[in-house]
Amino acid sequence: MTRTPLRISIGGGGTDLPSYYQDNGGGFVISAAINKYVYITVNRSFLPGYFLKYSETEHADTCERIRHPLMREAIRLHHTPSPLEVVSVADVPAGTGLGSSGTFLVGLLHALYAWQREPVTSETLAREAVDIEMNRLGEPVGKQDQYIAAYGGLLCQEYLPDGEVRVAPLRMTDESLRELRDSLMLFFLGEMRSASSLLGEQKRLSESHDPSMLDSLHFARMLGHEIRDALESGQVADFGRLMHEHWMRKRNRSRSMSSTRIDSLYDLARSDGGASGGKLVGAGGSGFLLLHTHDRRRLRDTMLRAGLTEMDFSFDFDGSVVLLRNA
């Protein structure tokens, strides 16, 4: 059994896609793993074939007949024989902007390594997950979800034009980390969506060198570096303002990025709730509002009156771990 963290994006989101970093001098993202997890259990099945339980239940005679693409490609990559049972349980449903597909895949790969009693590094888990989603399945995804799920913590990720990734922890004092955690709140908007269409649009516009899209992503990369400098120097109070600047630019990337309801809730959080800034977590469209505040009670009361649900969280510093191993 493995436990793998979901994530929030701190800065630079969108620049981890090859359609951007390959032709624009690289990308830069800061991500934070949170203590909301995907759990994957791998065990020998009493039934022949592959018995898979997630939001659906599958029983496939062969690997090639598995409908779930991430499960199929992970099992195929590792040549894992049947009979095999795989069970997935998550703290938060998919489609909420917290990087669930990357987390799911890293956790599954880690469980398959543990099942075969093979050691594995965080870097290998991240690379294999990226290869499956981006290359084998051709999904228009970036790399931050897989890397933060594998490594955990608050992670600075530099994406080089040749495809290499350099990672380093965000160097904050314990006091600044506590201040950052206490200033951030997550509120569920009550809707879920697939990120593929929004990411596909970003990929298409980036590859066609659309000036507006590239300008938005250049700004996100620059702001990511500015956020790193502010947080590492202990200027946590500035993060809300920087988040607000980022969201004002990001929501203009696509008409599907936000909505009248989301804009109204965000404005309410800043006016009545006293939030200094925030954004939608993930590709956009729905999911969770991440808000920065100096008055948690005021913001909580405002958002709850508006019908939103708060999800309390802390940071995770373990990354993907094996919780239980067969003797």
Structural domain contains residue 178: yes
Least reliable range by pLDDT among 26-30, 82-86, 279-283, 314-318: 279-283
Mean pLDDT (whole number) for 219-240: 95
* Residue-range definition of the domain harbouring residue 137: 2-171
Whether 8 and 152 share a structural domain: yes
Q: How many domains does the chain have?
A: 2
- Summarised one tens digit per residue, pLDDT across range 13-25 is 889 999 999 999 9
Question: Residue 295 and residue 307: Cα distance in Å, rounded?
Answer: 19
Considering the domain architecture, whether residues 31 and 138 belong to the same structural domain is answered as yes
Is there a single domain that holds both residue 187 and residue 140? no
Residues 249, 164 share a domain: no
Query: Is the pLDDT assigned to residue 284 strictly greater than 70?
Result: no
Tens of pLDDT, residue by residue over 61-97, are 999 999 999 999 999 999 999 999 999 999 998 888 8
CATH code of the domain covering residue 69: 3.30.230.10
Same domain, 184 and 304: yes
Asked, for residue 321, whether it belongs to a domain, the answer is: no
**Does 323 fall in a domain?**
no
| Boundary (domain end) residue, out of 171, 202, 236 | 171
Q: Which of 171, 202, 226 is the last residue of a domain?
A: 171
Q: Does residue 317 lie within any of the structural domains?
A: no
Question: Residue 195 pLDDT > 90, yes or no?
Answer: no
pLDDT in tens, 24-74: 999 999 999 999 999 999 999 988 999 999 999 999 999 999 999 999 999
Same domain, 47 and 115: yes
Domain boundary among 106, 137, 171: 171
